[in-house]
C-alpha cells in the first residue's frame, strides 16, 4: 500500500516536471540593433554570392586550362570547384528558406 502511494506521488511530480507550460515566441523588437544586424547578414549573403561567382569563374578557367593542356588533375580540380561553388551559391540563396523551414518544423513539435 505504501509503495503504491509513493508511485502515485512520484508520477504526479514527474508529469508536472516533464510538461512545463512554456510558450516563448521570437519577436522582432526584443533587441536593439536587430535591424542593423539584419542588414549585416544581408550584406554577408551578397558577399557569399559574389565569392561563389568568383569561385565558378576561377574553377572554370582551371577546368579549361586543364582540359586544353591534357592535364586531368587540374581539369578534375576545376570541375570540383565549379560544383562546390554552385552548391555554395544554392545554399546561400536558400538560407532564409532553410532556416524558416526548420524553425517551423521545430515549432510544430509538441
Q: How confident is the model at residue 68 (pLDDT cuts 50, 70, 90)?
A: very high
Sign of the dihedral defined by the CA atoms of residues 19, 20, 23, 24, in that order = negative
pLDDT digits (tens, 9 = 90+) for 29-44: 888 888 899 999 999 9
Q: Is 78 exposed, middle or buried (0-12, 13-18, 19+ CB in 10 A)?
A: buried
pLDDT digits (tens, 9 = 90+) for 76-110: 999 999 999 999 999 999 999 999 999 999 988 87
Q: Rounded CA gap, 106 and 103, in Å?
A: 5
pTM summary value: 0.71
Amino acid at each position: 500500500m505504501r509503495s503504491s502511494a509513493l508511485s502515485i506521488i512520484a508520477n504526479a511530480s514527474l508529469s508536472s516536471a516533464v510538461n512545463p507550460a512554456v510558450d516563448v515566441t521570437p519577436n522582432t523588437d526584443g533587441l536593439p540593433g536587430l535591424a542593423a544586424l539584419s542588414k549585416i547578414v544581408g550584406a554577408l549573403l551578397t558577399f557569399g554570392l559574389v565569392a561563389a561567382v568568383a569561385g565558378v569563374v576561377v574553377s572554370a578557367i582551371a577546368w579549361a586550362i586543364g582540359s586544353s593542356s591534357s592535364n586531368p588533375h587540374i581539369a578534375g580540380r576545376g570541375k570540383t570547384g565549379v560544383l562546390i561553388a554552385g552548391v555554395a551559391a544554392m545554399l546561400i540563396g536558400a538560407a532564409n528558406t532553410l532556416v524558416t523551414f526548420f524553425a517551423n518544423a521545430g515549432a510544430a513539435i509538441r
